[in-house]
Structure 1
Amino acid sequence: MLPHQRQYAQGMFRALVDESSGNEFEKLVHRLMELCHPGYVPIRTHGDIGDLGGDGLCTCHGHLYACYAPETFQVSKVRDKFFGDLESALIQRPEQFDAFVFVHNDQRGIHPVVAGLISEAQRRLPKTQLRQMGPRKLWNEALILDLPRMEQLLGQPIPVSEVRYAVGMADIEPLLKHLADNRPRHVRPADIPLPSTMKADYNRLSPRSQQVFREARPYVYQVEEYYRGLINHTEQDEVAAGFTAYYCQMREEYGDQPDEILWQLEGYVLGQAHARWERADAARVVVTFFFDQCDIFEVPPPGWRRPQSGTS
């Protein structure tokens, strides 16, 4: 799938999640997981036994999925749903799953109540993995789909001709705006210690690409401050997981072209449109932050040294 087609698909998938709730959201999750995982089995409710605590089961991974996407969020109902499904699954499916995954459609991230429920249940059940999966993680699953399967997921054809988009990774738009609006006017790069270029050399990034990181790195602290100030402390991890998933897809497509991968990662943040300079600068700061956090590109193995020039 071409990069602009993937950008288009991401926007359409986000819209589908926004527009779906209840059974429609559950059907969307089933369609996605069946396209991604041959061992995924949708579970329907049957008579007085219900669904035995799960909406879907992935036999290849041992994951049991419980979907919750109400039109209006009520704390008492989500608590009853979570513990009701979990307890039912533990009693009636004890040998069928290793991880219980609570799937939701909240684009802003996991609700504090849900985070608390998962934490509380994990303490009580240390041998059972408890996870949550929201729109970001669902999209990370979809990244592996080829064009025909992506069109099947979305229920519509994806344009073949290139379309320009002003927004790429919608989840990171507030961060981009924050960086573009608050860029310091005067920064002394000499005051900011720069990490070793070994990782850039190991990934064979060109001098021009390394210059992109060098120019952006003095502003990376703003990304750290932004994430520290968020109420939802899982957002950085979820955004990082999205970067990692997209990087892996780009490495598969452009494995021997590291500079092309870097350019595609900038497009992942910005979209495919020609961006204003302040947004382009902000995007490079974001990419540099996740490069330094080792969420994208490969980490040199222990003992690796740069090849000496002139050696074969």
Structure 2
Amino acid sequence: MDEVQRAFYQLRFREAFLEKKGTEFQDWFVKLASHAFGSDFEAIRPYGSQGDLKCDGRRISTGTIFQCYAPYQQKEAKLNNKIDRDFRGAHEHWGDNMGEWVLVHNDAQGLPASSIQLIDRLRKEYTDVEIEVWMEPKLQEHAASLPLAAQQAIFGFAPSKTGMETLMLDDVKPVIDELQRKDPIPGEEPLTPPSVDKLTKNSLSDDAACLLRIGRRKEALVETWFGKNPNAELGERIAEAFRRRYAQLKESDRSADGIFTHLQQYAGAGGEPRQQNAALAVLSYFFERCDIFEDPEHGE
């Protein structure tokens, strides 16, 4: 796995971790754990009147029972009730086979103080069970250790350093054609290059910076494509489409990396590797030439 693939998958992981909710987050965790632990992990699904016996999955060798929690809206009292009910229920149903209980959640700000106090009380009451809370760093650790084939199975194909170097003019055409079909309305703002400090201004991560750097290697290819196209307004039409999409994403209160990842998908980064590389080159071209993300103020 090269640096470009690694950066791509780290961004995809972060997007999935923060944005998936409810059973979608649980299903994503089960898929990740299945690849990370192999046959040592067993997914548990609800069945009949007994449900899942307070277990979303278990690791056999350690006797670990996993319970996921990713609500659409966090409510402290409901969370504490769930932690207490799920832990005690798991202890009752799995008994001597439960050596560890792990709460997996995706609240980037962490658990409320009352929830931590509750977990501490459970640790003191049930000294025979290790209790842990897994957030982004722990899941990222497992995701980052996966081989390329497993990353592809979870997050899809990624652009690569080698693929970008061999990108041709014909590879760019399908991406531009798809963006053209979105039929953007031309705006009034010109395609002016932003300041070199744009990454810092928008708090984009090193992973996003890595992808944009590799994409810039083929910006000239994209520029050549537009130069040969008889429709002189096409570049501005697509730029306006990016601006409108960026404005919508920003209103949704996503992180800078989350917006960048969605713009990648908007550019067509969802297919096989060659298409991923072409979409990244196109996105990098427009990142430098239109108002997606903010330019630094004068003097910054």
**What is the TM-score when the length of structure 1 is the normalising length?**
0.51
1:9-20 to structure 2, matched below 5 A, reads: 9-20=9-20
Distance across 1 between alignment mates of 2:206 and 2:110: 18
1:282-301 to structure 2, matched below 5 A, reads: none
Aligned length: 168
Q: What is the aligned partner in structure 2 of residue 167 from structure 1?
A: 205
Residue by residue over 1:232-284, the C-alpha shift from the partner in whole angstroms, topping out at 9 and shown as x without a partner, is xxxxxxxxxxxxxxxxxxxxxxxxxxxxxxxxxxxxxxxxxxxxxxxxxxxxx
**Shift in alpha-carbon separation, 1:80–1:10, aligned structure 2, 3 A:** same
Secondary structure in structure 2 of the residue aligned to 1:145:
coil
Q: CA deviation at 1:115?
A: 1.8
Residue by residue over 1:60-101, the C-alpha shift from the partner in whole angstroms, topping out at 9 and shown as x without a partner, is 222100000001011121112111111111111102221000
Q: What is the aligned partner in structure 1 of residue 62 from structure 2?
A: 61
Asked whether the equivalents of residues 76 and 112 of structure 2 are also in contact (C-alpha less than 8 Å), the reply is no
Structure holding more helix per residue: 2
1:20-169 to structure 2, matched below 5 A, reads: 20-38=20-38, 39-154=40-155, 156-161=156-161, 167-168=205-206
Letter aligned with residue 25 of structure 1 = F
**Shift in alpha-carbon separation, 1:48–1:30, aligned structure 2, 3 A:** same
Residue by residue over 1:268-302, the C-alpha shift from the partner in whole angstroms, topping out at 9 and shown as x without a partner, is xxxxxxxxxxxxxxxxxxxxxxxxxxxxxxxxxxx
Secondary structure in structure 2 of the residue aligned to 1:95:
helix
Secondary structure in structure 2 of the residue aligned to 1:31:
helix
4+ residue segments displaced more than 6 Å:
none
Letter aligned with residue 167 of structure 1 = S
Q: CA deviation at 1:169?
A: 7.5
Identify the structure with bigger relative contact order (alpha carbons < 8 Å, sequence gap 6+): 2
Distance across 2 between alignment mates of 1:151 and 1:145: 10
Distance across 1 between alignment mates of 2:114 and 2:72: 17
Asked whether the equivalents of residues 56 and 68 of structure 2 are also in contact (C-alpha less than 8 Å), the reply is yes
Q: CA deviation at 1:122?
A: 0.7
Secondary structure in structure 2 of the residue aligned to 1:121:
helix
Residue by residue over 1:218-243, the C-alpha shift from the partner in whole angstroms, topping out at 9 and shown as x without a partner, is xxxxxxxxxxxxxxxxxxxxxxxxxx
Larger Rg: 2
Secondary structure in structure 2 of the residue aligned to 1:101:
strand
**Shift in alpha-carbon separation, 1:147–1:67, aligned structure 2, 3 A:** same
> Aligned residues: percent identity?
26
Q: CA deviation at 1:112?
A: 2.6
- Structure 1: gaps spanning 5 or more residues: 171-312
Asked whether the equivalents of residues 107 and 136 of structure 1 are also in contact (C-alpha less than 8 Å), the reply is no
Letter aligned with residue 35 of structure 2 = L
Asked whether the equivalents of residues 32 and 153 of structure 1 are also in contact (C-alpha less than 8 Å), the reply is yes
Letter aligned with residue 131 of structure 2 = L
1:209-228 to structure 2, matched below 5 A, reads: none
Distance across 1 between alignment mates of 2:68 and 2:108: 15
Secondary structure in structure 1 of the residue aligned to 2:205:
coil
- Structure 2: gaps spanning 5 or more residues: 165-198, 209-300
Distance across 2 between alignment mates of 1:169 and 1:121: 39
Secondary structure in structure 1 of the residue aligned to 2:206:
coil
Secondary structure in structure 1 of the residue aligned to 2:127:
coil
**What is the TM-score when the length of structure 2 is the normalising length?**
0.53
Secondary structure in structure 1 of the residue aligned to 2:160:
coil
